[in-house]
Every structure is written in structure tokens, then in C-alpha cells.
Structure 1
Amino acid sequence: MSFVTPVSLAPLPLLHLVLGLLLAAWSLCFIVRIVLTWYPQVDWHSGFWAIVAWPTEPLLVPTRRLVAPIGGVDVTPVIWVGLLSLVRELLVGQQGLISQWMLRSMAVA
């Protein structure tokens, strides 16, 4: 890390916050999709549900081609919740990459 100047590490706290919030919001959208699979009459293209469907559907469509429904239940949102949780932990979790870079930059400064 000696080649990285403290000036280039200045946006790390903002990146940490924004990335953490975006990944959490995306995971929440997938969790809402999981719960709403119990209600098949929900129209995804109207009202509030379009806000939930818009960020999740581009990932679910190709995943549905790879993973078939199990017992008639679409499990792809569950897969994406797990993947997003893993990415969030690896990047902005307590031992995540961005968290460790922030700690190291504070120790150097």
C-alpha cells in the first residue's frame, strides 16, 4: 500500500457507505420478491411492485434459465440474496476489503 497516497484513499468512506447501502437495498428488493412469491396474483408492472421488480428482474431472468423451479417454486431470488450477502460481506463487512483499506489508511495517516 506504499504506492497509494492518502489523497487517493479519501473517497473510501463515501464508497463504503454508498456500496453498503446499495447492496442492502438490492438484497431487500430480493427479499420482498421472495415473500411475494406466496401471492401469485401480484402484478409486478403496477404501483410499488414495479420499484421492486425493476432492479431485480434483469438478474432473475438469466438465472431462471440456469436454475429450474424446485417443486414449482422459483428459488432464484434466494440464490441472489445469498450472493449479494456474500459480496456485501467481502467488500464492506467488518473484515471486508474496503473496510480494511479504510482502517489501514487511518493507521497510516
Structure 2
Amino acid sequence: MQPLLWFSWILGGVLAGMTLLFIFRIVLTWYPQVDLQQGPYRAIALPTEPFLAPTRRLIPPLGGVDISPIIWVALISLLREILLGQQGLLTMVLRQG
């Protein structure tokens, strides 16, 4: 199997996993009493917080609502579509080769 095909599968899995983690973060914002440093919530907070912290500095919460996870879901979805979508860059390269 081509290395580029393996790369596209791995990249697709990583992007899907990150999207899922950010969606979990969105749901957890509905429960402010949840401590993200405890238990299974830590597994969601550790990989997402390095992305969310700088985003919060650029775009602070609006009316007390943290929109940074929503921004990252949109950015990852856009990146996934550009690279791996039906007309994505990696998809087109794989079709040619």
C-alpha cells in the first residue's frame, strides 16, 4: 500500500478524533461544575487545551460562553475537507497515482 494512502488514513483518523474531543469539550461547557483535571475528563482536556487556550486569548468568551471549541471544530472540518474530501488535495493526488 502506498505511503501516501497510509498517511491519509492516519490523518483522517487524527482529525476525526480531534473533532470528537472538541465536541466533547463543547458538551462539557454545559456542565460548569465538571472538573476537567479529574478522572476521565482529563483525557479530553489534555489534548484539547493547548489549542483552546491561545484561541481564548484571541477570542474571549462571548457573554460567558466559550466559543473556542466551536471554532476548532470548524477549522478541523475545513482542513479535513481541503485535504481529504471528495475534491481534497490528498484525494486528488491518490487518484492520479
Instruction: Identify which of 81, 86, 105 aligns with 2:73.
Output: 81
Paired residues, number: 97
What 5-or-longer segments of structure 1 have no aligned partner? 1-8
Q: Highest Rg: 1 or 2?
A: 1
Alignment of 1:13-28 (within 5 A): 13-28=5-20
Alignment of 1:33-72 (within 5 A): 33-72=25-64
Deviations 1:20-63 (A, max 9, x none): 00000001100000011000011111111111111110011111
RMSD of aligned residue pairs (Cα, Å) = 1.1
What 5-or-longer segments of structure 2 have no aligned partner? none
TM-score (norm 2): 0.95
State how far apart, in whole Å, the 2-side matches of 1:18 and 1:94 are.
Answer: 17
1:10 deviation in Å? 2.2
State how far apart, in whole Å, the 2-side matches of 1:96 and 1:51 are.
Answer: 31
Runs of 4+ in structure 1 deviating by more than 3 angstroms, as ranges, are: none
Equivalent pairs: percent with the same residue?
Answer: 54
